Amino acid sequence: MTQARLQDKVAFVTGGGTGIGAATAIRFAQEGAVVVICGRRREPLDAVVAQIKTAGGRAEAVQADVSDEAGFTAAIEAAGQRHGRLDILVNNAMAYSWGTIESTTTADWHSNFSTSVDGTFWGTRAAMKLMKERGGSIINLSSICGLLGTSWMAGYSAAKAAIINFSRAAAAEGALSGIRVNVVIPAVVETPATAGMLSDPASRQNTEKLIPMGRVGQPEELANAILFLASDEASYITGAALPVDGGRSAVLVTAL
């Protein structure tokens, strides 16, 4: 019988209550990992943990705000102490503001960085300390907005671009300790964050026309890519930025 791909590994997933984070936690548990999911709201976290346990997996919820350095760092450190190790970190939590550059306040601008960039840095720093003896895998979530300019989302685009290059630097530093750091880059994925846009048929159709594969992504499809990078199958991959976007970032323009 083939051993599960993450058997007995300890994984910490931020933003684990919904969307890509929840799908990743569920997928990790299916492959034998002990999964600690983190988020600001307790109810969705508990629901994901219950789903995992019902299926025979192992999971626990930790309520913490990724934009709170002390609380978030303590949550990762405590998970490492409880389980005696940390093998995988997925920095998935994000926040964004919407509006023109002229209308963006300094507070709005900073709000894009406090969760996405600061949180990714704090999480990576804490995880690298826990992983330095036996190695591990860190997967950071960026966005197609970090690759391509996006009107009305300058702050979010800048933050997601920062994650890509920060991850390259972290990969270079972690390599000698066996710590791999990679990035997954989604485009439009069907999650609670995109539900408003995708619920409008015209908006959904226009979005899908821009994607070569002709449809938006599903959280499980992102989770499978994250699983690969977390697993030993990706043992020689670090510093990579992997688009999982139906081909959206591969094209300059698609006729509407």
Give the contacts of 105 (CB within 8 A, at least 6 positions apart).
none
Catalytic residue among 113, 122, 156, 166: 156
Return the amino acid letter for 132: K
Distance of CA 85 to the CA centre of its chain: 20
Token duo for residue 191: 């999650």
Q: Which of 104, 98, 126, 103 is CA-nearest to residue 14? A: 126
Token duo for residue 239: 């510093």
Task: Respond yes or no: is residue 156 known to be catalytic.
Answer: yes
Give the contacts of 153 (CB within 8 A, at least 6 positions apart).
96, 98, 145
Q: Which of 214, 217, 194 is CA-nearest to residue 206? A: 214
SS3 112: helix
Q: Which of 128, 58, 92, 129 is CA-nearest to residue 226? A: 92
Token duo for residue 29: 């548990």
Give the contacts of 171 (CB within 8 A, at least 6 positions apart).
180, 181, 182, 238, 239
Give the contacts of 233 (CB within 8 A, at least 6 positions apart).
5
Residues 181, 164: Cα–Cα separation, whole Å: 10
- Yes or no: say if 28 and 22 are a contact pair by the CB < 8 Å rule: no
Residues annotated as catalytic (active site), given as ranges: 156
